[in-house]
Structure 1
Amino acid sequence: MRVAICGGTGFIGSALTEHLLKNGHEVTVVTRRLPPDHKRDPRLVLYTWDEIASHPELMEGIDALVNLAGSSLSQRWTAKAKDSIIHSRLTTVAAVAKLVEALHSKPGVVIQASAIAVYGTSWTNTFDENSPKRVMDFPSDVVSRWEDAADSIQGVRLVKLRIGVVLGNQGGAFPIMRLPYRLGVGGKIGSGRQWLSWIHLEDIVRLIEFCMTHPEAEGPVNATAPEPVTNDQFGQAVGRAYHRPHWFPVPAVMMKAVLGEQSLIILEGQRILPAKALELGFKFRYPRLQEALNGLANEQG
C-alpha cells in the first residue's frame, strides 16, 4: 500500500512510519517543515503542507491517508494557546478535505485523529463508540469541533480514531508520568480514583494499519486498551515496573495551582472501551497495563 501520513514526524507518526516501512508499505509524510536529517529510505517521501496544497497531484495514487496533525494539548492553556490548539486542528482537517476533493484517484480510507475527550469526563460511566459526544470542558469542545470538521472529508471511508493516553518511551505523556517514580516520589494524584484509558504505542500503530486494511472499520474507533485503570492503579503498576515505591500522594489543589485549567486532564478521566476494534477482531499485543509497562521498562534497559 501507499500511505500518506500528515503529521508523520511526531510521536505517533514517526512510529507509524517506521512500522509501515518495516511491513513493506510505501510512505509519504506531510509535515510543516522538512527535517534536515530524515531517514533515507527509497519507499519514504516527505512533502510540506505548502507543497501538497500547491501540487495535490503529488498525492495521486495513495491508498490510505492518516491525519495525525495538530498542536498538542500539553501546554499551558492561555487564550492564545487555546486558539492555536483549535486552529491547528481545524486548519489541517480543512487541508485534508481540500486535498481529497482535488484528487482524481481518492484514497480508500482517511483515518482522522481524534481523542477520547469527546465523551466528556466521568467517575462512574463507561463509554464506547455508541456513547454520545458530551461537551463539558475545553478538551471535549476541541475534539467535538475537530470531529465535526472531519465530516467535510467526503467521498472516502472515514475513520475517526479516538485516541487515549499513548504509552511509549520516545514521547507523549508517559516519560513525564513515570518521572516521579524514577525519582522515588511517585504516588496517586488527587483521589487516585479517576480513570485512565491508555494504549501502548505499538498497539496504536497496529490499530491504524488494521483500520486501513479492514473496510468494516468506519466512523468512531476508540484507540484504547481493553482494560482501563484508575490513576492509583496506574501508579502502582509503574512502581512495580520500575521497582520504585508508590507512596507520595499529590494533592489535587497542588495540581490545580501548578497547571491551572489544564489539571483537569490529570484530575478527571474517562473509562473507555475499544468495543469496535474488539468486535472487528483486532488483537491487542498489550491488553493489560502491567505487561505494557514492563515492556517499556525493559526496552529502556
Structure 2
Amino acid sequence: MKYAICGGTGFIGLALTKYWLEAGHEVCIIGRKLPEKRLADPKVSYHTWDTLKSDPSPLEGAAALVNLAGSSLSQRWTSAAKKSIMLSRLETVAAAAELLKALKQKPPVVIQSSAVAIYGTSLDDTFDESSPRNVMDFPSEVVYAWEEAADEDYQDVRLIKLRTGIVLGNESGAFPKMKLPYLLGFGGSIGSGGQWMSWIHLTDIIRLIDYCIRYTEISGPVNATAPHPVTNSQFGRTLGKVYHRPHWFPLPAFVLKTAVGELSEILLKGQRVVPARALEHGFTFDYPVLETALQQLKST
C-alpha cells in the first residue's frame, strides 16, 4: 500500500515511516521543503507542498493521509510564537484538504493530529472521547481551532482526530528532557506533582495510527494515550525507580514560570485522559503501564 505523511520527518512521522517501510509499504513524505537528511529506501519519496500543488499524481491511490505537521509548542509563547503555532496548524490542514480535492483517487481516510489539551485541565476529572471540549488556555484554544478546521476542510473522507498525550521515545520528544534531571541526580516533582500526565509509548502510537486506518469503523476523535495515566509525582518516582536515581529535588512552580513563562502551563497543569475508543474497538497496548514502558526505553 501507499501512505502519505505530512510532517514525516518529525519524531512521530519518522517512526511511522520506518514502521510502514518495514512492512513493505510505500511512503510519500510531504513538507514545506525537502529535508537534507533522507532515508535511503526506494519505497520512500519526498515532496513539497508546492510540487504537489502543480502535480498531485504521486499521491494518487494512497490508502491514507496522516497529517502530523505543526510548529512545536515547546517554545516561549510570545505573541509572534503563538501566531506561528496557530497558523502552522491551520495552514497545513488547508493545504492537505486542497491536495485531497486535486486527487482523482483520494485516500479514504485522514488521520489528523490533535492533542488532549482539547479537554482543558483538571486535577479531578477523567476525560474520554465523549467528554466536552473546553477552551480555557492557549493549548486548548489551538487544538479547538485545529479540530474545527479539520472538520470543515476535510470533506467526503473518514476523519480521525488523534488526540495525543505525551509520547515517550528515546530519540526526541519530551522524554529525553524529562529524564535528564534524573540522570544528573536532580530529579523531582514539578510544581505540586499532582497534575496528571497522559502518556503513550512511541511504539503504541505508531501501532494505533496503523490500526485506525485499517479498521474502517473507527472515526472521529481517538485518544492516543495509554490506559493508565499517572500524576507528575508518580511519573517521577517511576522514572527514578527504573533508572535507579533519586526522586527528591522538586522544581517549584514559580521557578518554572520565571524560566519559560506561559509555556510552564504545559508542565504545571494536565488532564487525566483514557483511550476509551481504542479499547472499545479492540486495540491492545504493548505498553499499557508506565513502568514497563520506561523499562523498554531504558533497554534500547
Aligned residue for 2:245?
244
Superposed, 1:130-279 pairs within 5 Å as 130-151=130-151, 152-279=153-280
Off by >3 Å, runs of 4+ in structure 1: none
Quick one: distance in 1 between partners of 2:246 and 2:163? 32
Give 1:82 shift: 0.3
AA aligned opposite 1:226: P
Paired position in structure 2 for 1:24 = 24
Number of residue-to-residue matches in the alignment: 299
TM score, norm. by length of structure 2: 0.98
Amino acid aligned to 2:12: I
Alignment pair present for 1:111 and 2:111: yes
Per-residue Cα deviation, 1:118-151 (whole angstroms, up to 9, x for no partner)? 0000000000000010000000000000000001
CA distance in 1, matches of 2:263, 2:244: 29
1:184-213 residue CA offsets vs partner (Å, 9 max, x unmatched)? 000011110000000000100000000110
What secondary structure sits across from 1:258 in the alignment?
Answer: helix
Unpaired stretches in structure 1, ≥5 consecutive residues: none
- TM normalised by structure 1 equals 0.98
Deviations 1:250-278 (A, max 9, x none): 11111111111110100000000000000
Aligned-partner Cα distance in 2 for 1:50–1:106: 18
| Shift of residue 102, structure 1, vs aligned partner | 1.5
Identity of aligned residues (%): 62
Q: What pairs up with 1:3-152 in 2 under 5 angstroms?
A: 3-151=3-151, 152=153
- Look up the SS of the partner of 2:173 in the other structure: coil
Tell me by how many angstroms 1:74 deviates. Answer: 0.4
Quote the Cα distance in structure 2 between the aligned partners of 1:25 and 1:125: 41
Q: What RMSD, in angstroms, separates the aligned Cα atoms of the two structures?
A: 0.8
In structure 2, the gaps of 5 or more residues are none
Partner Cα separation in structure 2 for residue 252 and residue 225 of structure 1? 26
Report the residue type matching 2:9 in the other structure: T
Structure 2 counterpart SS, 1:204: helix
Deviation string for 1:155-209 (max 9, x for gaps)? Answer: 1100000000000011111111111001000001111000000000010000000
Shift of 1:31: 1.5
State the alpha-carbon separation in 2 of the partners of residues 73 and 204 from structure 1: 19
Aligned to 1:5, what secondary structure does the other structure show? strand
Q: Secondary structure at the match of 1:238?
A: helix
In the TM superposition, residue 35 of structure 1 has moved relative to its aligned partner by 2.2
